[in-house]
Structure 1
């Protein structure tokens, strides 16, 4: 079943010539965007794009479909403007806290769209660690916060999910496996390791602990994912990262899935200190579309 996100993704791929760039534009992971495109083509029963190593180009039929998609999205925007002009403008403010990767790759484009729909609402995003998000929520200092793998009782609004992936130097022994091969969490954690946290409590160490495994040889610990990738390129060790943190330039790196996939979910949770404001409710409703 196709929804508005599929059509926005279709137009973004045409505009950027790349599924990776289009995924970032609409706030999806690269694998989710690829799956969405494949699902759309399967649902329509036609190929809309041709995939080349460096770009993704529309077919002749794809050009016609994209043109109609632009008309449809433009009409939807016109409807929204008409409704906005006919009703009093919603005004207010939202303070929202998130850890860096979700804020940069997912929330920022969504907040830009929200600003177009609700220009009277001021949104203040805060970049913090995941433990700081919980502290701010409990203190009532923010309206909404992004949390990882929320418990059902928190009444969270799911934003998305991605996979944890192994990243190794291209010349590492494990990286010499066939292109479709995977690596087990146990054998990965036994390697010389670059522990990257991204400022989050959920990282390779905590994932290992949940599986009853320990990191035996941590060569260095860093906060920034980008630093970890540089150290892996230099052969310092291997690492384990969320899919959305992967760099566009992967020369010198081998990215491998885990044999038993491990996901992380990220979702918005409201502060328990007060009722949800109309401004925050409008944001959650937009994200749910």
Structure 2
């Protein structure tokens, strides 16, 4: 009996198929089949039953699965304690955020953290801002970047991003430095959501306005900017989504200014791990 066999048993139980399980732990399907066949031979008991739509554990396989998970958990504790003796930090963090944060604020933070703690595995999960909160509440992730956290929130500020108006170069507002939301909302409009529930439509609704002439609606900020460049309409986008090369477009500040704020929040569903604590401490510094 060896670690590969135990990991294979756990992976098959969780994935429900040899193919998905093999991909999950980075081995070939034939290698996994051989490992499990060897485990069954060593035990002299059937662990798995192949079904039409996948693989199921036998009754004994279910009991063996519990022991396999416990064994790997104990081995992980040995690894962690040995790392502590060596003065190293190990562990893992699951962190969720929405797309535009990954490419701007979060990426340099995670890069720095990995350089400080190479033994800690960081799993970054991309989703929309509403699901980030749902994952935090359920404990599916350890940490998450939340959008516009309330002032009394325990979220740690990690940055903010100004909203800007984006115009085609020949637009009549292009020579101005500032434009109101009301003026932009009345124009033919290109709406981008960026995978967030806060975007140009919600910003205009918050001040009692609407977007009466939406010519195109897209998810991706880059696509919206390209459509503005082609003269389809105007738009409102976060400043961080704009590249340094802004040929064909003109950006203007909003009057009054608007920003979106980002906060790093821990899951309330379980205690903060040592690895997550280290990331939070780095962010606070």
User: Do they fold alike, i.e. is TM over 0.5?
Assistant: yes
Name which one, 1 or 2, has greater alpha-carbon Rg. 2
User: Does structure 1 residue 263 correspond to structure 2 residue 262?
Assistant: no
CA contact (8 A) 1:226 1:247 kept: no
Q: In structure 1, how many angstroms separate the alpha carbons of the residues matched to 2:244 and 2:234? A: 18
Coordinate RMSD, CA, aligned: 1.6
| Residues 212 and 267 (structure 1), Cα distance of their counterparts in 2 relative to 1, 3 Å cut | same
Q: In structure 1, how many angstroms separate the alpha carbons of the residues matched to 2:163 and 2:175? A: 20
1:74-93 matched pairs, under 5 angstroms: 88-93=87-92
Deviation digits for residues 77-136 of structure 1 (CA, Å, limit 9, x no counterpart):
xxxxxxx99962121110000111111112112111111111121000011111111111
Q: CA deviation at 1:169?
A: 0.3
2:195 aligned residue: 199
Q: In structure 2, how many angstroms separate the alpha carbons of the residues matched to 1:232 and 1:154? A: 36
1:34-73 matched pairs, under 5 angstroms: none
User: Does structure 1 residue 218 correspond to structure 2 residue 217?
Assistant: no
CA contact (8 A) 1:183 1:256 kept: yes
SS of the aligned residue for 1:154 comes to: coil
* Ranges in structure 1 where 5+ consecutive residues have no aligned partner: 1-83
Deviation digits for residues 53-73 of structure 1 (CA, Å, limit 9, x no counterpart):
xxxxxxxxxxxxxxxxxxxxx
- How many pairs were matched up? 203
| Residues 95 and 85 (structure 1), Cα distance of their counterparts in 2 relative to 1, 3 Å cut | closer
2:186 aligned residue: 190
1:113 aligned residue: 112
Q: CA deviation at 1:176?
A: 3.1
User: Does structure 1 residue 137 correspond to structure 2 residue 136?
Assistant: yes
1:79 aligned residue: none
SS of the aligned residue for 2:108 comes to: helix
Q: In structure 2, how many angstroms separate the alpha carbons of the residues matched to 1:95 and 1:166? A: 34
Q: In structure 2, how many angstroms separate the alpha carbons of the residues matched to 1:255 and 1:86? A: 55
| Structure 1: 4+ residue segments shifted above 4 A | 84-87
SS of the aligned residue for 2:112 comes to: helix
User: Does structure 1 residue 100 correspond to structure 2 residue 99?
Assistant: yes
SS of the aligned residue for 2:222 comes to: helix
SS of the aligned residue for 1:174 comes to: coil
SS of the aligned residue for 1:162 comes to: strand
Q: CA deviation at 1:278?
A: 1.2
User: Does structure 1 residue 279 correspond to structure 2 residue 242?
Assistant: no
Q: Normalising by the residue count of structure 2, what TM-score does the alignment of the two structures yield?
A: 0.69
* Ranges in structure 2 where 5+ consecutive residues have no aligned partner: 1-82
